[in-house]
Amino acid sequence: MNADRMAPNTSQRPRWFAPVLTLPSLVAVLLLLAWEGAVRYSRNDLFPGPWQVGLGVVELLRKGLLLKYTVASLFRVTWGFLLAVLVGVPFGLFLGWFRTAYLAFNPLIQVLRPISPIAWIPLAILWFGVSDAAPVFLIFLASVFPITVSATAAVRDLQPVYVRAARNFGIGRVQLFLRVILPATLPQVLTGLRIALGVAWLVVVAAEMIAVNSGLGYLIIDARNAGKRYDLVVAGMVIIGLIGLGLDLLLRRAERLEGVSWGYAHR
């Protein structure tokens, strides 16, 4: 029998059959069924099932709180993350290229990096008060160290042959950075940005539970305190997860850019 006839004709599959859509959808359906089954089996009246959580999301939409709190959280993450990118990427490239600067600053970075951003909350409130500046500062701290470390490692892992070849062609320092160092380090830097963005989204939720009176983190703690509305608590958790997924997918699309995609394996 001809081998071509035995191979499945993937071109005739409907678009909905794409594994990138069907497999996550299947996992989500199984998770919802397991969630509903666990709630019914436990007979716990406090913990909500998927239907109650869905009604909670509808309630937040109807009251206008979902959009308000989501915008507040995204505003803080955007500013804190952008400040971390503006500081962390250039500083990391600088440390990776100049060995003396690396020896001078790396010990300080390794001392500050393991400190949880949550531990800075009392100081952030002391310095900035109960305002947007406090969570923005915490997000900046949470993001800047992963970005700096990834940028530094990207430069230090750069193949010396690229630099020697560029210098043999008489390329100056500015052109060497723009045409060799920056393109060669972009894939690893972008991976660091993805990690930092996930950490930033995690930190803003924790900071909003303490340092401000708006945002999705505040929604969760307020719903718990105001009548133990655990349906709204879980609804806030689900919304946070979905937004985090959307932010990660947004950065992953940057991996397909022509100047970056070469650094990733495609199968």
pLDDT digits (tens, 9 = 90+) for 56-99: 889 889 988 889 999 999 999 999 999 999 999 999 999 988 88
> 21 or 259, which is more confident?
21
Residue type, 92: G
User: Cα(77)–Cα(196) distance, rounded to whole angstroms?
Assistant: 11
Domain ranges of the chain: 51-263
pLDDT confidence tier of residue 19, bands split at 50, 70 and 90: low
Q: Output the six-digit token pair for 84.
A: 């971390």
30-66 pLDDT, tens digit each = 888 888 888 788 777 777 888 888 888 898 899 888 8
Q: What pLDDT was estimated at residue 1?
A: 45
CB 58 within 8 A of CB 189: no
If pLDDT is split at 50, 70 and 90, which confidence band does 9 have? low
Query: What's residue 7's pLDDT?
Result: 47
Tell me how far apart the alpha carbons of residues 81 and 136 are, in angstroms, rounded to a whole number: 8
What pLDDT, on the 0 to 100 scale, is given for residue 267? 46
- Cα–Cα distance, 146 to 74 (Å, whole number): 20
User: pLDDT at position 16, please?
Assistant: 47
Q: 49 and 39 in contact (C-beta within 8 Å)?
A: yes
Residues whose CB is less than 8 angstroms from the CB of residue 138 and which lie 6 or more positions away in sequence, other chains included: 80, 117, 118, 120, 121, 124, 203, 204, 207, 211
Model confidence pLDDT, tens digit, residues 198-208: 888 888 888 88
- Cα–Cα distance measured from residue 79 to residue 47, given in angstroms and rounded to the nearest whole number: 35
Q: How do residues 178-233 score in pLDDT, each as one tens digit?
A: 777 777 888 888 888 988 988 888 888 888 887 778 888 888 888 888 777 888 88
Closest CA to 28 of 18, 36, 40: 36
Whether pLDDT at 104 is above 90: yes
pLDDT, mean over the chain: 82
What is the model's pLDDT at position 18? 62
User: Would you say residue 13 has pLDDT above 60?
Assistant: no
CATH of 51-263, one of 3.40.47.10, 2.40.30.10, 1.10.3720.10, 3.40.50.10540: 1.10.3720.10
